[in-house]
């Protein structure tokens, strides 16, 4: 069977996007892993399935390359708005609204949540900051922006071995759903960010990571909204005030459309 897909990315965070609005597509974890494989499949940081929505124009389902579902993806949300023109998107992490102006897409996400059981964290602890440490990384803010994030603020971002610490923190038993790990350096209100994504590893950019980090930086009075968050793949602008929705603005790029022979996948 041939399956049509779009290869898209937001700041180098890349996606296989399958438009299943007209014809249902049923994918299991093994097929997701095979499609996401960069050598034997198409390769991507996340696989996105667009379906007809019940509460919104479209519904977006997200899988990480480990085959497990995720509840939010900021960079992919911009791609879905750009591809479909849909003004509203239903996700497991909440309803999103989107608008495209010139070549930039803005997405409004629901307000962040901070309670330990909303992250979730196994024990009833403070979350801003969370009193935990892993080697040189300590006292992060825990924020749920539709998916769970930790945000560590450090003096020297390049000195952090995120490839080693990321998987340890992601799978710490304190986080029953595992967690995305962000490390940020702030200079003169500008944020530089690297993210270890749950189920995906190091990526060039993470939209929800940028939102969680801007929220944490504004909360700690390290930055003022709108915050520019620079990642290896480029910069997002994030606006937020306490109690309000989060606004993320950035590009979405369509690279090519292809057909994959599902029977040829490992």
Please enumerate, by residue number, every residue annotated as part of a binding site. 13, 46, 64, 74-75, 147, 180, 197-198, 207-208
Determine contact, residues 60/76, Cβ cutoff 8 Å.
Answer: yes
Q: Please tell me whether residue 261 adopts helix, strand or coil conformation.
A: strand
The verdict on 60 binding ligand LBFN2T5F (CB under 6 A) reads: no
User: Distance from CA of residue 55 to its chain's centroid?
Assistant: 22
Active site residue 79: no
The verdict on 250 binding ligand LBFN2T5F (CB under 6 A) reads: no
The verdict on 198 binding ligand LBFN2T5F (CB under 6 A) reads: yes
Q: Crossing angle, helix 74-84 and helix 207-219, to 10 degrees? A: 130
Active site residue 44: no
Q: Please tell me whether residue 54 adopts helix, strand or coil conformation.
A: coil
The least CB distance from residue 179 to ligand LBFN2T5F, in Å, is 8
Per-residue b or e along 49-62, where b marks 16 or more CB atoms closer than 10 Å to that residue's CB? bbbebeebbbbbbb
The verdict on 180 binding ligand LBFN2T5F (CB under 6 A) reads: yes
Q: What mask, x for binding ligand LBFN2T5F by CB under 6 A, covers residues 28 to 47? A: -----------------xx-
Stretch that binds ligand LBFN2T5F, among 83-91, 195-203, 215-223, 238-246 (CB under 6 A): 195-203
For ligand LBFN2T5F, the binding residue among 19, 27, 35, 75 (CB under 6 A) is 75
The count of chain residues that interact with ligand LBFN2T5F, using the rule CB under 6 A, is: 18
The least CB distance from residue 31 to ligand LBFN2T5F, in Å, is 18
The verdict on 194 binding ligand LBFN2T5F (CB under 6 A) reads: no
Extract the annotated binding site for substrate: 13, 46, 64, 74-75, 147, 180, 197-198, 207-208
The verdict on 82 binding ligand LBFN2T5F (CB under 6 A) reads: no
For ligand LBFN2T5F, the binding residue among 109, 206, 247, 252 (CB under 6 A) is 206
* Secondary structure letter of residue 9 according to DSSP: E
- Residues 6 or more apart from 62 whose CB is under 8 A from it? 46, 47, 48, 49, 69, 70, 71, 72, 73, 76, 91, 92
Determine contact, residues 14/211, Cβ cutoff 8 Å.
Answer: no
Q: How far apart are CA 154 and CA 182, in angstroms?
A: 11
The size of the chain, in residues, is 266
- Phi and psi, residue 31, nearest 5°: -70, -40
Binding site for ligand LBFN2T5F (CB under 6 A): 13, 45-46, 64, 70, 73-75, 147, 180, 197-200, 203, 206-208
Active site residues: 73, 206
């Amino acid at each position: 069977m041939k399956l049509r897909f779009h290869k898209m990315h937001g700041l180098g965070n890349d996606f296989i996007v399958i438009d299943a609005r007209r014809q249902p597509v049923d994918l299991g974890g093994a097929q997701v892993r095979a499609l996401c494989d960069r050598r034997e499949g198409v390769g991507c940081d996340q696989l996105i399935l667009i379906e007809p929505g019940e509460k919104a124009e479209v519904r977006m389902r997200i899988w990480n390359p480990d085959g497990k579902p995720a509840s939010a993806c900021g960079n992919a949300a911009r791609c879905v708005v750009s591809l479909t023109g849909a003004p509203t998107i239903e996700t497991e992490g909440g309803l999103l609204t989107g608008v495209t102006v010139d070549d930039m897409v803005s997405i409004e996400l629901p307000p962040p949540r901070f309670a330990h059981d909303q992250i979730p964290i196994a024990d009833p602890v403070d979350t801003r900051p969370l009193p935990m440490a892993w080697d040189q990384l300590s006292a992060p803010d825990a924020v749920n922006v539709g998916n769970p994030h930790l945000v560590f603020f450090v003096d020297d971002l390049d000195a952090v071995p995120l490839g080693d610490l990321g998987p340890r923190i992601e799978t710490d038993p304190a986080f029953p759903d595992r967690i995305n790990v962000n490390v940020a350096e702030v200079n003169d209100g500008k944020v530089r960010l690297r993210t270890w994504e749950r189920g995906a590893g190091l990526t060039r950019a993470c939209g929800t990571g940028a939102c969680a980090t801007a929220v944490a930086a504004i909360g700690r009075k390290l930055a003022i909204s709108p915050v520019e968050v620079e990642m290896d793949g480029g910069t997002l602008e994030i606006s937020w005030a306490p109690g309000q929705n989060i606004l993320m603005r950035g590009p979405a790029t369509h690279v090519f459309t292809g057909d994959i022979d599902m029977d040829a996948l490992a």
